[in-house]
């Protein structure tokens, strides 16, 4: 697999000139030294005041010792540097858990529920496989990978969705995900020039929705409102998510971008679910077999899970069968390393996918360095091809 620095982020360095600002003379060395010293002094005082306040609260009995310890167990930091200077900072919460629920590593807030969004599509597809629906309708391994995908809307992706719907006796109009253009701008432009238009087949969730429809047809249920939270399909899906993660979902979830239920779970529970999904430990035989089937489908055809130059596709292709990776909207990244028996769940709190990818890569490199390296940094290249900085996980 190419190192992440080969998947460089391109951005323009052009900055508008402020006509009202005259060039400044460089400050003297003494002023520079005083300014730097003042900054470090302020940072030092702030950190120590926070620590003293925490100790005070602890002595009052209103703060636990666990919280005090967590002052040093902060989020995983991803820095965006221009040259050697930090320009932006992303904070990521990280949970690494084994299939027995034992905490391997944690950073930040892993207890409060977040929206994993598309990162848990494999969990949502489990009900379809373990019910026998996928086998009954003859879904291929490629099509099972599509059911777990957030694909890029390429021709191969749309073709697989058409094939799945055809096996169900349905057409594009049956999909409740709504229309979309292909993900990549260059691909979408060529597609439009060729006469293409936004449609549900190109929506990144059309594979997942085809899986929902497969289960609905197998259960002889209504296929019009299959995305409603109280539809039998969604009740089956929610029950599977609860069972594999050990977390009780809200009875009435929110609505995802594709109209399906958007459930909330804490990172710890999501990581536990992925550890169980990838290893089969803690799962009943039928669910274990279904999880193994989906794991093999996704890791055999990673280009269907994402698409060209998509990080989850690239990283699974670079380590065949050895790890599972799946992105979710708003800075979520999840997966598992079965040989290590661990599940991984990451949330970048400002929603930046670029930071979540690097945080995931850092965890993979730490626990499976034999599979891949150079996953903790990617270079920033401007439009002229110049190296201007980097995005990296802070050690």
What is the token pair recorded at 226?
Answer: 């299959």
Instruction: Note the pTM of the prediction, 2 decimals.
Output: 0.82
Let me know if residue 77 belongs to a domain. Answer: no
Residues 6+ positions from 307 with CB-CB distance below 8 Å? 151, 152, 153, 154, 157, 183, 184, 313
Let me know if residue 183 belongs to a domain. Answer: yes
Bridge partners for 325 per DSSP: 335
Let me know if residue 250 belongs to a domain. Answer: yes
The dihedrals phi and psi of 51, each to the nearest 5 degrees, come to -65, -45
The dihedrals phi and psi of 99, each to the nearest 5 degrees, come to -70, -10
Let me know if residue 318 belongs to a domain. Answer: no
Residue-number span of the structural domain to which 42 is assigned: 29-70
User: pLDDT for 309-337, tens place per residue?
Assistant: 999 999 999 999 999 999 999 999 999 99
126 and 259 part of one domain: yes
137 and 254 part of one domain: yes
Long-range contacts of 290-294 (CB under 8 A, 24+ apart): 290/126, 290/129, 290/130, 291/122, 291/126, 291/244, 293/129, 293/144, 294/122, 294/125, 294/126, 294/129, 294/144, 294/147, 294/148
135 and 242 part of one domain: yes
Residue finishing a domain among 13, 43, 70: 70
Let me know if residue 341 belongs to a domain. Answer: no
Cα 58-61-65 angle, rounded to 5 deg: 45
What is the token pair recorded at 110?
Answer: 């892993």
Based on the structure, what is the number of domains in the chain? 2
Identify the segments of the chain with pLDDT beneath 70.
1-73, 395
Residue finishing a domain among 231, 246, 263: 263
User: pLDDT for 352-372, tens place per residue?
Assistant: 999 999 999 999 999 998 887
163 and 52 part of one domain: no
Q: pLDDT at position 28, please?
A: 47
Classify residue 213 by burial, with Cβ atoms within 10 Å: 0-12, 13-18, 19+: buried
Q: pLDDT at position 372, please?
A: 78
CA–CA dist 288, 126 (Å, integer) = 10
């Amino acid at each position: 697999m190419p190192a992440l620095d080969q998947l460089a982020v391109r951005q323009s360095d052009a900055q508008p000139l402020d006509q009202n600002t005259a060039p400044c003379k460089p400050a003297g060395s003494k002023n520079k030294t005083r300014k730097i010293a003042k900054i470090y002094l302020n940072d030092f005082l702030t950190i120590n005041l926070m620590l003293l306040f925490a100790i005070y609260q602890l002595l009052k009995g209103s703060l636990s010792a666990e919280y005090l310890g967590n002052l040093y167990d902060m989020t995983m930091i991803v820095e965006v540097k221009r040259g050697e200077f930090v320009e932006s900072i992303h904070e990521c919460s990280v949970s690494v858990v084994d299939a027995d629920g034992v905490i391997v590593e944690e950073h930040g807030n892993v207890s409060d529920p977040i929206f994993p969004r598309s990162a848990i599509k494999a969990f949502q597809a489990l009900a379809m496989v373990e019910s026998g629906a996928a086998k009954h309708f003859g879904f291929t391994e490629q099509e099972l990978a599509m059911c777990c995908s957030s694909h890029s809307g390429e021709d191969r992706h749309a073709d697989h969705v058409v094939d799945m719907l055809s096996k169900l006796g349905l057409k594009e109009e049956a999909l409740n995900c709504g229309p979309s253009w292909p993900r990549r701008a260059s691909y979408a432009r060529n597609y439009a020039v060729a006469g293409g238009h936004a449609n549900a087949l190109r929506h990144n969730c059309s594979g997942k929705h085809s899986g929902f429809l497969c289960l609905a047809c197998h259960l002889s249920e209504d296929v019009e409102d299959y995305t409603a939270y109280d539809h039998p399909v969604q009740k089956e899906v929610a029950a599977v998510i609860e069972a594999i993660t050990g977390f009780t979902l809200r009875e009435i979830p929110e609505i995802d971008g594709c109209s399906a239920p958007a459930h909330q779970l804490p990172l710890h529970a999501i990581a536990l679910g992925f550890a169980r999904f990838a290893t089969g430990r803690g799962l009943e035989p039928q669910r274990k077999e279904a999880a193994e089937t989906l794991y093999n489908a996704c890791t055999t055809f990673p280009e269907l899970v994402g698409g060209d130059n998509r990080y989850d596709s690239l990283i699974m292709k670079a380590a065949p069968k050895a790890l599972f990776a799946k992105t979710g909207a708003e800075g979520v990244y999840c997966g598992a390393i079965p040989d290590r028996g661990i599940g991984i769940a990451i949330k970048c709190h400002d929603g930046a996918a670029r930071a979540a990818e690097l945080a995931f890569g850092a965890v993979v490199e730490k626990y499976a360095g034999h599979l891949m390296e150079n996953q903790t940094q990617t270079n920033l290249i401007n439009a002229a091809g110049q190296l201007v900085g980097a995005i990296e996980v802070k050690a």
